[in-house]
Structure 1
Amino acid sequence: MHTRRCFSFAMVLLSGLTLLVWLGMMPRTPAAGDASAIRAGPAMHGPLLRLGIVPERDIFRQRQRYRALAEYLSQRLSRQVELRTVRTYQDVIEDFREKKVEAAFLGSLVAVLAVDQLDAQVLLKTQLPGGICSYRGVIVVPEDSPIQSVQDLRGKRIAMVRTTLAGHLFPMAEFSRHRWLDDPSAAPTPLWVGTHDEVIGAVHAGQADAGALKDLRLHELEKVQQPKLRLRRLAISQAVPENALVVRRDVVDPLGAELAAELMKMDSTPQGRAVLEQFGAERFVPCSLEEYSAIYEMSELLAARWNAIGLSGAPPVRRPGAATSRSSWLLPQAGPPNGA
């Protein structure tokens, strides 16, 4: 218990310091819609490219990663690149709808929603070191928790992240699989937090009995926090693409094609490889809707309760070619940490 309190205090202190630094770097005049914007690179003659990003971790570090990429793209495309950081996953959908961004790097669920609701186009996905191109949702509990299976979560508290595959759709699909959505008194109570890091913090602080988050982020935190961070996996989803570049349909040609071309050849030049290393990736590779099969399956299962479980709009509809075969969204047994 002492270890968990120390870990929780450290997480809170780090988050507070990070927020202070981030606020100190913010522009004096915030962009409209509660989204922050930073401009990268020298003034260019081409049209402005606004690139949306959604924090899923330490905000300061995420902005640093994308700043390097924005500066590189600004030079290569001969146009100014503006990073627009929004607060929630739903906000980036609104930015697409209101044409406040031309493109964005999105997690799997938001990418599918952008395609379905706004006819956006998925172009590329990020390949991380080790050839990792995908991630899974995981439901975890402290190693010493008496909870041994998802069934034991009945009536418990679980930390979750809205409008994400790992932190929202996957756990809700699990609740449905256990028929808890038909009996709200039996369903686990969501504790909504803003990021995957905050899920871990809530579990260790004892604010939640379990947490649902992205496995890649969990792996990173485990490497840094071991042996303090000891969590046990209760359930693991099927793999979905790592964060993907999504472009508004009305600017796919020629902007989307130019942007994708520059990103895909970054690993072929010393300058591009240096920026990729700073960004934390090996390269960018093509991505298609066929790779989001697990999301469509979960969405179909939850379609009748889509709004009741806190998801906006209508559930995404599977398009021809979006999935070649039907398989369970739940990994049958614990396999490799992620499916590339």
Structure 2
Amino acid sequence: MSELTKRILILLCLIFITSPSNAKTLTFAVVPQQSAKKMAQKWQPLIDYLSKYTGHTIEFRTAKDIPTFEANVSAGLYDIAYMNPYHFVVFNDSVGYRSLAHQRDKKIRGLIVVHQDSPVQSLADLNGAEIAFPAPAAFAATIITSAHLRKQGIAFIPRYVKSHDSVYLSVQRNFFKAGGGILRTLNISPDSVKSDLRVLWESKGYTPHAIATHPKMAEVDRQAILNALIALSNDSSKASILSRIGFSGFVASSDSDWDDVRALGIASLSRPHL
């Protein structure tokens, strides 16, 4: 055996020994609150961090719109998914997705926004108006805001425009009198759009979006991902990764954390458009 062959064999052995035998490829899907390009730009640094920390290859996923995302989660296509509170309640029950973490020190609130120069000063001024929403099953932006309007006896025509960004842009351009959203997506919208909008109404707070895992995911892999999320949350040198998605950090969660959403009874009244 030549010296070169020996060296090649030694190198191959070292690669085999040092390569993680349990490395996997996992998908991490994020509900499409913005365009796919913007979502990837904001979330990819977090995905890269999780891949490096866990030793797994984690691939970013989203969908062209919220109904498509719902259909994919319903089919169990994602290993990990960041989904709204309503989605989690539904898919925890129907598919078995298990909660892993949620945003730290955060409650999700629905907003109704109008143009800064709009004459609308109260919800009553929206009676009979067309109002923009991201999708029928967007929890805070659609379900909570719509429920409050109906409770107040305000008639309106819902128009679904596929994303939070589209809601804000359509109100800013005066295509609609008002739109439903949430504070986080409003805060990270372009200044040119955000500066032209005014928050007309804000709901009370609910447990925020869940990071949930497929029911077949091994507990050791769930724990590895959770450890990575907690480590990131406690590492000030990596704060920019979290700030890109508008988070301060993550905390571990249990399925019962979303009992406040279950108490609304909405999961038993309707299902996402699949």
Fold agreement, TM-score > 0.5: yes
* Residue of structure 1 aligned with 2:69, choices 92, 113, 137: 92
* Residue 261 (1) aligns with residue 222 (2): no
CA distance in 1 between counterparts of 2:20 and 2:75 reads 24
Cα-Cα RMSD: 2.9
Q: Please name the residue that 1:199 is paired with.
A: 167
5 Å-filtered alignment, 1:160-199, equals 160-162=133-135, 163-179=137-153, 187-199=155-167
Identity of aligned residues (%): 20
5 Å-filtered alignment, 1:242-253, equals 242-253=208-219
Report deviation, 1:156.
0.7
Question: Cα 1:54–1:44, aligned 2, differ >3 Å: closer, same or farther?
Answer: farther
Report deviation, 1:221.
3.8
CA distance in 2 between counterparts of 1:236 and 1:296 reads 20
5 Å-filtered alignment, 1:1-340, equals 46-127=23-104, 132-162=105-135, 163-179=137-153, 187-221=155-189, 224-225=191-192, 228-233=195-200, 235-269=201-235, 272-273=238-239, 275-277=241-243, 280-300=246-266, 304=269, 306=270, 311-312=272-273
CA distance in 2 between counterparts of 1:77 and 1:190 reads 43
AA partner of residue 167 (structure 1): A
Q: Please name the residue that 2:9 is paired with.
A: none
Q: Please name the residue that 2:12 is paired with.
A: none
Q: Are the counterparts in 1 of residues 30 and 82 from structure 2 also a CA contact under 8 Å?
A: yes
CA distance in 2 between counterparts of 1:303 and 1:286 reads 26
Q: Are the counterparts in 1 of residues 82 and 210 from structure 2 also a CA contact under 8 Å?
A: yes
TM-score (norm 2): 0.79
Tell me which structure has the larger Cα radius of gyration.
2
Give the unaligned 5+ runs of structure 1: 1-42, 181-186, 314-340
| Stretch deviating more after TM superposition (286-295 or 82-91) | 286-295
SS of the residue aligned with 1:249?
Answer: coil
CA distance in 2 between counterparts of 1:172 and 1:81 reads 36
| Stretch deviating more after TM superposition (237-246 or 92-101) | 92-101
Report deviation, 1:285.
0.9
Question: Cα 1:145–1:291, aligned 2, differ >3 Å: closer, same or farther?
Answer: farther
AA partner of residue 212 (structure 1): G
| Stretch deviating more after TM superposition (161-170 or 60-69) | 60-69
Count residues with an aligned counterpart: 254
CA distance in 1 between counterparts of 2:163 and 2:20 reads 34
Question: Cα 1:54–1:303, aligned 2, differ >3 Å: closer, same or farther?
Answer: closer
Residue deviations 1:35-94, cap 9 Å, x none? xxxxxxxx9751211111122135323212322222222222222111122123333333
SS of the residue aligned with 2:217?
Answer: helix
Report deviation, 1:217.
2.0
SS of the residue aligned with 2:70?
Answer: helix
Report deviation, 1:247.
0.7
TM-score (norm 1): 0.65
Question: Cα 1:71–1:216, aligned 2, differ >3 Å: closer, same or farther?
Answer: closer
CA distance in 2 between counterparts of 1:90 and 1:77 reads 31
SS of the residue aligned with 1:189?
Answer: strand
